[in-house]
Amino acid sequence: NAGVMQNPRHLVRRRGQEARLRCSPMKGHSHVYWYRQLPEEGLKFMVYLQKENIIDESGMPKERFSAEFPKEGPSILRIQQVVRGDSAAYFCASSPPIGVEQYFGPGTRLTVT
Q: Which of residues 48-107 bind another protein (CB under 8 A)?
A: 48, 50, 55-56, 58-59, 89, 91, 93, 95, 97-104, 106-107
Exactly one of 28, 39, 42, 85 binds another protein (CB under 8 A); that residue is 42
Exactly one of 5, 20, 45, 87 binds another protein (CB under 8 A); that residue is 45
Q: CA 34 → CA 14, 52, 64, 91, distances in Å?
A: 22, 15, 15, 6
| 27 CB-contact burial (10 Å; exposed 0-12 / middle 13-18 / buried 19+) | exposed
Classified as helix, coil or strand, 86 is helix
Residues near another protein (CB under 8 A) are: 31, 33, 35, 41-45, 48, 50, 55-56, 58-59, 89, 91, 93, 95, 97-104, 106-107, 109
